[in-house]
Amino acid sequence: MDSLQIEITPEQGGVQLFKLSGPFTISTMFDFQQLVREHTAPVTLIDLAEVPYMDSAALGALLGFHVSCGREGRKYGLVAVSDRLKTLFQVAGVQGILVGYPSVEAARAAVAT
């Protein structure tokens, strides 16, 4: 798979879910950025379970999303982050900044409070 696929689940109870599949790179990050700008639910969950790798540009897009959520008073969560992506977050020094959950269910339970 050489392109990023983004499946959008209809907003439920103020929670929007984006399921990403495929490489998340500079060539695919622009679609992601456009979608998160268009969908402004109070809570956005981004399921990364099927993202095999991510480059620094895509990481920058996630950090930009983190900042915009903070500025707009919205919540977000990264779901099912693989060990490979966790290593990227650690090397980049952002593992304590980005909000993550092991599953969609855990994320929904955490943001509901």
Rounded Cα distance between 113 and 111, Å, is 5
> What is the extent of the structural domain holding 12?
5-95
User: How many structural domains are present in the chain?
Assistant: 1
Q: What is the mean pLDDT of residues 10-27?
A: 93
Q: What is the pLDDT of residues 54-106, one digit of tens each?
A: 999 999 999 999 999 999 999 999 999 999 999 999 999 998 999 999 999 99
In a domain, 101, yes or no: no
* pTM confidence score: 0.92
Amino acid at 9: T
In a domain, 105, yes or no: no
Q: What is the pLDDT of residues 31-53, one digit of tens each?
A: 999 999 998 899 999 999 999 99
Rounded Cα distance between 43 and 89, Å, is 22
Neighbours of 70 (CB within 10 A): 11
Q: Which backbone phi and psi does 14 adopt, to 5 degrees?
A: 80, 5
In a domain, 106, yes or no: no
In a domain, 104, yes or no: no
Rounded Cα distance between 31 and 44, Å, is 16
